[in-house]
């Protein structure tokens, strides 16, 4: 059975995950708001294993895989891109891109 699944080639997707310094990762942590509602925010944090994760309020967290230049994809959504701005220092905004759909969030104060 294992050989069959391995032969499929996509049974266990492997995402690109470029190195990210602790300083760069720390600059991404926090809450980002994309609307006026209480649930209109995303939280970037570290899970119990220390991995960088993102979650929308009230939803489960998703591991983030780094492609370089502060661009990530969440686990289970290889086509989605999450871009933090600016390119260095503490992030002030994050944009989630899923094909033609884009959501831009600003760091919550």
pLDDT at 15: 72
Q: What CATH number is given to the structural domain containing 45?
A: 2.40.128
Total-model pTM: 0.84
How many whole angstroms separate alpha carbon 7 and alpha carbon 68?
Answer: 29
Assess if residue 78 is contained within a domain.
yes
**What pLDDT was estimated at residue 3?**
72
Into how many domains does the chain fold?
Answer: 1
Q: Give pLDDT tens digits for 36-83.
A: 988 899 999 999 999 999 999 889 999 999 999 999 999 999 999 999
Let me know if residue 2 belongs to a domain: no
Residue 61 domain-assigned?
yes
* Residue 65 placed within a domain: yes
In percent, the amount of the chain with pLDDT more than 70 equals 88
- Domain with 48 in it: 15-107
34 domain-assigned: yes
Please give the structure tokens belonging to residue 96.
Answer: 């989630």
With contact defined as beta carbons under 8 Å apart, do 55 and 42 qualify? yes
* The three-state (H, E, C) secondary structure of the chain, written as one string: CHHHHHHHCCCCCCCCCCCCCHHHHHCCCEEEECCCCCCCEEEEEECCCCCEEEEECCCCCEEEEEEECCEEEECCCCCCEEEEECCCCCCCEEEEEECCEEEEEEECC
Q: Is 101 part of any domain? A: yes
């Amino acid at each position: 059975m294992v050989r069959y699944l391995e032969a499929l080639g996509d049974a266990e997707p492997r995402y690109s995950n470029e190195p990210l310094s602790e300083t760069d990762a720390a600059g991404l942590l926090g809450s980002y708001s994309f609307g006026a509602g209480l649930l209109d925010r995303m939280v970037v944090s570290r899970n119990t294993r220390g991995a960088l994760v993102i979650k929308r309020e009230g939803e489960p967290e998703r591991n983030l895989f780094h492609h370089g230049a502060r661009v990530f994809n969440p686990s289970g959504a290889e086509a989605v891109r999450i871009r933090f701005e600016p390119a260095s220092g503490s992030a002030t905004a994050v944009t989630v891109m899923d094909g033609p759909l884009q959501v831009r969030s600003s760091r919550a104060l």
